[in-house]
Amino acid sequence: MYCDGEKLGDATAADVAEGKTFTSYAGLKVTGTAKASVPTLQAKTVTPSAAEQTVTPDSGYDGLSSVTVEGDANLVPGNIKSGVSIFGVVGSFEGSGGSGGSSDNNCEAYHITSASAVLSFKGTGTVKVWGYGSKKSNYTTTVYAFVGDGYYAGSSYGTPSKTSATFSIASDGTLSGLPSGLSAIDLLVTVGV
């Protein structure tokens, strides 16, 4: 039986997938040699955020082989405010205040510029004072540098030495333990440091 070659296709072995057969223009059975195209895939890691994210491959890639969503060991109910849901984890934390999720105050501080300022610390502990003050007497001014548990007073000669002091909060809420006669202060008063 004779078949006109023009009625057959014009594919070559390079046009047909490797291992598949076809009939050539000459009427012969031919096996294809074309290698299958392998897509270039990319793996990506995503960090959750407040906004929705769409993950797509970068330029030069045909698709994604995998997408990894990072986890965080701190994403637990005890670290999330009660009634709030973050990525499906519903919070149970009902405390308030300081670091570590505790309602205890680890440290408190007041900035004062007057010795008559009223301080109202929630906690108790050693009161420390940091900053500067001055006292005028006749034609001289003495400058004080407060360093937590004491102070240094300026001197006209030599090196000033530290005077230890015990600071506390008086019953009227003012700071006690300061040198008498201070005319100006700029202090940070702390408890818990």
Per residue in 38-85, pLDDT (tens digit) is 889 999 998 887 788 889 999 999 998 998 888 888 888 888 888 888
pLDDT recorded at residue 99: 43
Query: Hey, what's the torsion of the CAs at 173, 147, 122, 103, to 10 degrees?
Result: 170
Domain range list for the chain: 1-37, 44-94, 108-191
Helix (H, G, I), strand (E, B) or coil at 145: strand
pLDDT in the model for residue 193: 67
Instruction: List, in sequence order, every beta strand (DSSP E) within the chain.
Output: 21-23, 29-31, 41-46, 63-69, 85-86, 89-90, 108-112, 127-137, 140-148, 150-153, 162-164, 168-169, 175-176, 184-191
For the chain, list residues with pLDDT below 70.
1-7, 95-106, 155-156, 193
